[in-house]
Structure 1
Amino acid sequence: MKTASVVMAALAAGVMSLASGAFAQTVHYPGGKSTFDGKCAVCHQAGGKGMDGLAPPLVEYPGKYAGSPDGRAQLGHTVLYGMFGPIKVKEKSYNFKMPSFASLSDEEIADVLNYVVFDLNAQHGSAKPFDVAEVKAWRAGPLDQTAVHQHREAVLKGLGL
């Protein structure tokens, strides 16, 4: 009896290990993941799955944005300056006031964008990683949250989304 319970416990542990491994995420940008988990996941949820009605998922559009200069700027401006106003993502509506994260360093912003685009988005085309110089350039031309929202609409049209 004791042997059977030991075998069952070992099997259960093995199944649990396999199950958790099946959902494991490969992380290429651990600094970005750390920033995301500490600052963004509270609204966008773990893995960027989003929260219905509040914060959109980050598992598709950012990957599409990152392939164009306007899309990249939109991602950077959204993180730096926040965004206010209703948006739609895949026919779901969200009305969230994204706060500004301008207090993060240029490196932290580049890392979190890289995490979102390359670790959370399976498809990111030929997008190149974000870097500190790119973030510094976005800081040089600050926008308010309304302008970030308006720019998003132009980016969506340009990308056909």
Structure 2
Amino acid sequence: MMRRGVMVVVAGFLLTACSPKSPQSLYGNNCGICHHGGDGMPGSVPPLVGRIDKIAATPEGRRYLADVLMHGVSGKIMANGQPYNAEMPPFRYLKDEDVVRILNWLSERSGAASAPTLSAQDIATARGANKSAGQVADEREALNRQHLIP
């Protein structure tokens, strides 16, 4: 009897962790297609793990991340000292809360004790702005001049 109870609890946990609304599932279905497990693809898609928390450490960085998800970004960038040249589409079809769950999950994956977080309001504000992917790239360059983006 006890064994069956444990199996039910484990099955329930696995279903919850991999449910369509879990951060891992949201990431996998939307971001993981290009960014894979968070490591990206050399030369074309930058890694996310170990970078999102550093970018989100400032209000300007959180605004940039929200803008990337809402408006996309295009052009050449440097990430972790490596060049990348790709187009990231906007993910405006996602709910604000789902975008927050993805970004906060990525931030937490850095392993930092107090990983920075974004709020649904951060995403809603970005959603309300009228920016192009090129303008988001310009925003990145301006932010990078203030303090180096990893």
Shorter-normalised TM range = 0.7 to 0.9
SS of the residue 2:74 aligns to: coil
Q: Are residue 42 (structure 1) and residue 42 (structure 2) matched? A: no
**Equivalent residue number for residue 111 of structure 2:** 122
Q: Are residue 81 (structure 1) and residue 71 (structure 2) matched? A: yes
Normalised TM-score (structure 2): 0.79
Distance 1:107 1:89, change over 3 A: same
For residue 149 of structure 1, the aligned residue among 130, 134, 137 is: 137
Q: Are residue 51 (structure 1) and residue 24 (structure 2) matched? A: no
User: When you count helix as a share of all residues, which structure comes out higher?
Assistant: 1
Question: Looking at CA atoms only, which structure, 1 or 2, has the larger radius of gyration?
Answer: 1
The share of aligned pairs that are identical, in percent, is 28
Normalised TM-score (structure 1): 0.74
Instruction: Kindly state the Cα deviation for residue 126 of structure 1 after the two structures are TM-superposed.
Output: 5.9
In 2, Cα distance between the equivalents of 1:157 and 1:121? 23
For residue 33 of structure 1, the aligned residue among 24, 30, 37 is: 24
In 2, Cα distance between the equivalents of 1:125 and 1:149? 28
Amino acid at match of 1:150: D
Note if contact 1:43-1:54 (Cα within 8 Å) is conserved in structure 2: no
In 2, Cα distance between the equivalents of 1:44 and 1:122? 19
In 1, Cα distance between the equivalents of 2:81 and 2:122? 31
SS of the residue 1:60 aligns to: coil
**Equivalent residue number for residue 102 of structure 1:** 92
Amino acid at match of 1:73: R
Q: For the aligned residues, what is the CA RMSD? A: 2.1
SS of the residue 1:84 aligns to: strand
Q: 4+ runs of 1 displaced by more than 4 Å?
A: none
